[in-house]
Structure 1
Amino acid sequence: KEEAGIQLQAEEYDLMAAAADLDEIEEVNADCILMANLQQASTSGTQTDSAPIYDTDGSAE
């Protein structure tokens, strides 16, 4: 009976370790998504439009 208890404890430990790993993976995924969003935001702001820029006298630059 004691052996079965030890086995159960080992399985519980494995489960806890797996859950901790999963938390870590989710955290890394969230960080990656955040970084991707920040990168997207920073690049979308710098993309130039193809429309001509007009000077104050009305001529296109």
Structure 2
Amino acid sequence: DAAYLQQQLQITLEEETGIQSTQGEFKFMVAADAYEETERVKVNYTSEDTLQQASTSGTQSDNAPVYDSDGSTKVV
């Protein structure tokens, strides 16, 4: 019957469209996850760099010699 075949064709096309949509959604989710991971890594490196700079600059200024008015060095 032609109506039955038309209905089966319509069902098949809808299923294929659904599968294609699902694959597209999956690819999008993979790309979004990769982007989020890249952003997390950037934030971690930035935070690490900031902490290292703060640590280094604090260490350098804390260990700098302090001089008295007569030129002698004092230990702080």
> What range is the shorter-chain TM-score in?
0.7 to 0.9
Report the secondary structure of 2:19's partner residue.
helix
Residues paired across the two proteins, number: 58
Structure 1 position 59 matched with structure 2 position 61: no
- CA RMSD between the two structures: 2.1
| Equivalent position of 1:9 in the other structure | 22
Choose 29-38 or 16-25, whichever is displaced more.
16-25
Alignment of 1:1-61 (within 5 A): 1=13, 2-48=15-61, 53-55=66-68, 58-61=70-73
TM-score, normalising length: structure 2: 0.63
Structure 2 residue runs without a partner (length 5+): 1-12
For the pair shown, the structure with the greater C-alpha radius of gyration is: 2
Q: Which runs of 4+ in 1 moved over 6 A?
A: none
Inter-partner Cα distance in structure 2 for 1:45 and 1:52:
14
Structure 1 residue runs without a partner (length 5+): none
1:52 and 1:60 in contact (8 A); partners too: no
